[in-house]
Amino acid sequence: MLMRRFSRRQAGVTLTELMIAMVILALAFIPIIGSLGSSLAVTEKDDRSIRAMQLAQSALAAAIQFPFAALPTFAGGGAGPWQIGGDVPPLSYPGYPGPNELVMTVGRIATPKVTYQLQLVIEDVPVTFNFQTYNVASKEKFPTTPSSWGWADRSFTAQRVYHRYTMTARWTEPNGREKFCSLTSFKSDLKD
């Protein structure tokens, strides 16, 4: 009877070698996974900051479009500064020209992960104009000598014609740290 001879070939890979290779690969990927996870946390933190800036910018853009005296009147009038925020419903102005009414949202704005608090502060900024005048009679008397025209320094101060709008967005990070961003713009009451 013929007997077959079986020989072991060394061309294949054993299960043990395959398992060791998988463990080495898994250990090599642990630092990579850790760095990806930490970058994800940084991305979420940046996302919260960017979202706060977008909310503040949107609300500030709407506030600038309201008529000059509308928001200070809503905030109680008086001499200012005027604050609008807290638990107020969205403010709307129905007389806004166009198909849609003008709406500004401030106060508490909840998103799935963070709650933002928007507050608008409007301050009156006094405007001073400095100018020089001269005596018309002196100019007629000395038409070629401007230094003899009787120049006088004058100033004019105007109130309630120029406002500073500051929109502040506040939120709390998951670690409990309070964060905020502020945007500032100006608006003048232009008249003919």
Positive or negative, the CA dihedral 87, 90, 115, 51 is negative
* In a domain? residue 9: no
Residue 68 has pLDDT above 70, yes or no: yes
Structural domain harbouring 42: 15-188
Are 118 and 182 in contact by the 8 Å Cβ rule? The answer is no
* Percent of the chain scoring above 90 in pLDDT: 30
The pTM is what?
A: 0.68
* In a domain? residue 110: yes
- Cα–Cα distances in angstroms (integers) from residue 47 to residues 41, 56, 61, 113, 166, in the given order: 10, 14, 21, 11, 22
- Cα–Cα distances in angstroms (integers) from residue 136 to residues 76, 88, 132, 150, in the given order: 47, 57, 13, 9
* In a domain? residue 162: yes
Which residue(s) pair with 164 in the sheet?
123, 186
Helix (H) or strand (E) holding 158: strand 152-158
Tokens of 19: 């398992």
* In a domain? residue 113: yes
Residue 184: closest CA among 119, 127, 126, 128: 119
Residue 29 has pLDDT above 80, yes or no: yes
3-state secondary structure of 191: coil
- 118-159 pLDDT, tens per residue? 999 999 998 898 988 888 888 888 888 888 888 889 998 888
- Cα–Cα distances in angstroms (integers) from residue 53 to residues 50, 79, 169, 181, in the given order: 5, 29, 7, 7
- pLDDT level of residue 1 (50, 70, 90 thresholds): low
* In a domain? residue 133: yes
Average the pLDDT over 58-84 and give the result.
Answer: 86
Tally of structural domains, the chain:
1
3-state secondary structure of 187: strand
**pLDDT at 95 (0 to 100):** 63
Which amino acid makes up residue 68?
A: F
Q: What are phi and psi of 189, to 5 degrees?
A: -95, 90
* In a domain? residue 8: no
**pLDDT at 3 (0 to 100):** 60
- Across the chain, what does the average pLDDT equal? 84
* In a domain? residue 178: yes
* In a domain? residue 37: yes
**pLDDT at 38 (0 to 100):** 67
Tokens of 126: 């006094």
